[in-house]
Structure 1
Amino acid sequence: MARRNDHSPEQLRALTLTTVTAFLEQQPAADLSLRQAAKLVGYSAGTLINLFGSYSYLLLALNGHTMDEMSGDLSAAMDQASTAKDKLRAMAEQYLAFAQLHPHRWRLVFEHRLAEGETLPDWQQQRIDRLLALVEECMLPLYPDASTTEIQLKIRTVWACVHGIVHLTLEDKLFATPAISGKALIDDLLTRYLPA
């Protein structure tokens, strides 16, 4: 593919993320390659490597883009609720809804692994911390006397359970007869786990 200089690096980065995001709305990440991404964007694979550093970091940047969108959706859902429990429930249900609406993008966030020797950039760790901070915001009022260690355990327990429910719902692996929705499982989890 011939070299192009139609876009600034910032524009090309945005174009790449938008284009690959659109691809993942229809097809799984396993169906994408660096060459295919480059072809979709209309630039050479080398240009994308120069821009992102590697194909792995391109996918990581895409995951950052997805996490930003997810964080915005979760925050908006929380803003519609008044109590800490209702905020947590709204956030968990929106997390499920996001995964159901964008399953390929959601899976990529959790399935992508950096190559050995590659380190998670600070900008991605900040996104992870931001998502966990949303859970913490809901849970701190429910456990006002909990130590830092206790609250961190509770945050990750709720996060792991909700994430597991979402994953099993997407994979259709709940194996319940009659069928049970992910939303019903989230409601049951939070009703039983959270203090009255």
Structure 2
Amino acid sequence: MSRRSDHTREELAELIVGEGHLLLSEVGYARFSAREVAKRIGYSVGTLYNVFGSYDGLMLAVNGRTLDMWRAALVARLEGAPAGASRLEQAIAVYFDFAAHHRHAWAALYDFRLPEDAALPASYAEKLAGVTGILIDEVTAALPPARKAAGPELARSIFALVHGHCFFALNGTFDLLGETDPLAAAIARTREAIAAAGGGAGR
């Protein structure tokens, strides 16, 4: 039976995202179902779409929750980093830790795609920038003044490098290749990229 009068729209949105994120974390993107989310909270699937507009809108909201969690983990690690530690390397370590502990939700950030003709909502783009902006800031900080304009471009390449190492670590590919410490390898390659751009160890 529907409970659609039990919550305000804001409360309902939070309920849906919370339960949706739990489901996604349990079963992964391929088995994620709006109908199952609706069943778990006692509302119709139509209610979910009324709140978020569509399945895509629901997925953006659920993935947005993952981005919020990821950014919070980054901020906490960087604020608590030991004196003298490389903040960029701390951020890379967070990537590996977060992916390992939130594997399905992390993977869904990349598995879900909007239609090619659909624009990314500003609210979601802001959450995404909240994560990538930290990496851009740390890469840029590691570059000399004359090279700081290259920070965003280099940060995108380093992001891809770290993601590849992390993905191979999680899916077992590095085991087959004989790599025993993917995180250390990702950090080493990052140091090489920063050095090749004329930078140092960073903040």
TM-score normalised per structure 2:
0.87
Verify: 1:166 aligned to 2:188, yes or no.
no
> Contact 1:49–1:55 at 8 Å: present in 2 too?
yes
User: Tell me, what secondary structure is at the counterpart of 2:26?
Assistant: coil
What does residue 145 of structure 1 align with? 146
What does residue 76 of structure 1 align with? 76
List gaps (5 residues or longer) in structure 2. Answer: none
**What's the Cα RMSD here?**
1.7
Q: CA deviation at 1:24?
A: 2.2
- Residues in 2 aligned to 1:32 and 1:133: alpha-carbon distance in whole angstroms: 29
What does residue 106 of structure 2 align with? 106
Deviations 1:26-83 (A, max 9, x none): 2112112221111112100000000000011101111111101101101111222345
- Residues in 2 aligned to 1:147 and 1:78: alpha-carbon distance in whole angstroms: 21
Q: CA deviation at 1:147?
A: 5.0
Q: CA deviation at 1:173?
A: 1.6
Verify: 1:60 aligned to 2:60, yes or no.
yes
- Residues in 2 aligned to 1:184 and 1:116: alpha-carbon distance in whole angstroms: 36
User: Tell me, what secondary structure is at the counterpart of 1:146?
Assistant: helix
> Contact 2:27–2:104 at 8 Å: present in 1 too?
yes
- Residues in 2 aligned to 1:29 and 1:170: alpha-carbon distance in whole angstroms: 16
> Contact 1:79–1:87 at 8 Å: present in 2 too?
no
List gaps (5 residues or longer) in structure 1. Answer: none
- Residues in 2 aligned to 1:147 and 1:31: alpha-carbon distance in whole angstroms: 43
> Contact 1:24–1:105 at 8 Å: present in 2 too?
yes
> What stretches of structure 1 move > 3 A for 4+ residues in a row?
none
> Contact 1:93–1:186 at 8 Å: present in 2 too?
no
- Residues in 1 aligned to 2:130 and 2:172: alpha-carbon distance in whole angstroms: 29
- Which amino acid is the alignment partner of residue 147 of structure 2? A
- Which amino acid is the alignment partner of residue 113 of structure 1? R
Verify: 1:131 aligned to 2:154, yes or no.
no
